[in-house]
A = this chain, B = another copy of it.
Amino acid sequence: MRWDTLEEEQCSLARTVAVIGDRWSLLILRECFLRVRRFEEFQSRLGITRHLLADRLKKFVRYGVLRRARYQESPARYEYILTQRGLDLYPVVMSIVHWGDTHMVDERGRPLLHQHKNCGKLFDPVMICSECGEPVHAKQVHTHPGPGAAKTAQASG
């Protein structure tokens, strides 16, 4: 398997991994959700090399996760803003953060707390079933091939 064919796989996980499945992409995405938008700010907060940052931002724009918006004329300056497609990655980011909060914190506790504006409380994300509303756990799920499944027996998810 080559990485440039990853997005062509018959697997929604593999295709998403083609977009966000490397370390810098996920860290850049974190910054996006913390309202960072500009090249210099991404670079200085993350310590990423400018080369890679430019590459990853281009990739996100290409996949429609970010859009490049001019915020100033002469000299033209651009910032990177989450699209709806990018905002839809929020559950991915939050579930990653939540696993870290649960399993990777040190004795000092969580680095960041999340407040739900709607109810005002500090919260954790919970994954529920869209149909019955109950929390879903790995062992309660059966998978079946869907319409886009590969013909041959193949890993998909």
Contact of A119 among B22, B92, B127, B129 (CB under 8 A): B129
Q: Does A121 contact B (CB under 8 A)?
A: yes
| Chain B residue at smallest Cβ distance from A110 | B146
Is the Cβ of A34 less than 8 Å from the Cβ of B119? no
Cα A41 to Cα B85 with chains together (Å):
34
Is the Cβ of A19 less than 8 Å from the Cβ of B109? no
Q: How large is the interface on A (under 10, 10 to 19, 20 to 34, 35 or more residues)?
A: 35 or more
Q: Does A61 contact B (CB under 8 A)?
A: no
Q: Does A113 contact B (CB under 8 A)?
A: yes
Instruction: Given A92-B99, A103-B85, A116-B131, decide whether A109 and B156 contact each other with a Cβ distance below 8 A.
Output: no
CB neighbours of A106 from chain B (8 A):
148
Cα A19 to Cα B141 with chains together (Å):
24
Is the Cβ of B33 less than 8 Å from the Cβ of A138? yes
Cα A45 to Cα B3 with chains together (Å):
16
- 5 pairs of A and B residues whose beta carbons are closest in the complex: A12-B100, A119-B132, A109-B147, A108-B148, A110-B146
Can you offer 23 A-B residue contacts whose CB atoms are under 8 A?
A: A7-B104, A12-B104, A13-B26, A14-B27, A14-B100, A15-B105, A16-B104, A22-B22, A33-B157, A90-B127, A94-B127, A97-B157, A105-B148, A108-B147, A112-B157, A113-B144, A113-B146, A116-B129, A118-B134, A121-B132, A123-B130, A123-B132, A128-B128
A13-B26, A21-B22 given; name 5 further pairs at CB < 8 Å.
Answer: A14-B27, A21-B21, A21-B26, A64-B103, A85-B103
